[in-house]
Amino acid sequence: MPNNHKEIDATDRNILSILQTQGRITNTQLAKQLGMSPPPTLERVKKLERRGYIDRYVALVNPHKVGVTCFTYVEVTLLRHGSTPLERFNQAIKEMDEVMECHHITGEADYLLKVATHDIPAYEEFVIHKLTALPDVQNLKTLVVLSTIKQETRLPVNNH
């Protein structure tokens, strides 16, 4: 997506900021916070959705409540490079529920994954039966999360 952050005004940025922390807010409540009436507020939200500023709405699930207690970051180095191995790896990763994030990166490794599993044995199963089973994976480096100090989903949209 092109860098079009200047195409939205301060009110749009406020809408995005509020919706990132209060995703279930009603249009009437949003309008009140903005000092606007509900119809133009709703139109602005719909416009932000149509233009792709609002990607989707989600519920953030407490991982411990659903038994997900092991988070790891995995640096993956591929054996071969080029469009075919990269595309093959990308597609395989998209199909793995344990992978929460996948980033193609610079540096010694090719990819950085954020992986969520129930526990260390489940992570070991994931590594053995899924990740290292991929034909182009050469090396892994795993970093286990001991504790999380800050985890944010909100982007700083008002800092431009």
DSSP string over 45-73: HHHHHHTTSS--------GGGGT--EEEE
Structure-token match 């990308």, residue found: 90
Spell 60-81 as b/e; 16+ CB within 10 A means b. eeeeeeeebebbbebbbebeee
Question: How would you write the pLDDT of the chain (160 residues) with one tens digit per residue?
Answer: 445 556 899 999 999 999 999 999 999 999 999 999 999 999 999 999 999 999 999 999 999 999 999 999 999 999 988 899 999 999 999 999 999 999 999 999 999 999 999 999 999 999 999 999 999 999 999 999 999 999 999 999 986 6
Q: Retrieve residue 56's tokens.
A: 């989707």
Q: Which domains does the chain have, with CATH numbers?
A: 5-50 (1.10.10.10), 63-144 (3.30.70.920)
Do residues 77 and 109 touch, judged by C-beta distance below 8 A? yes
Degrees to nearest 5, angle at CA 153 with 148 and 158: 125
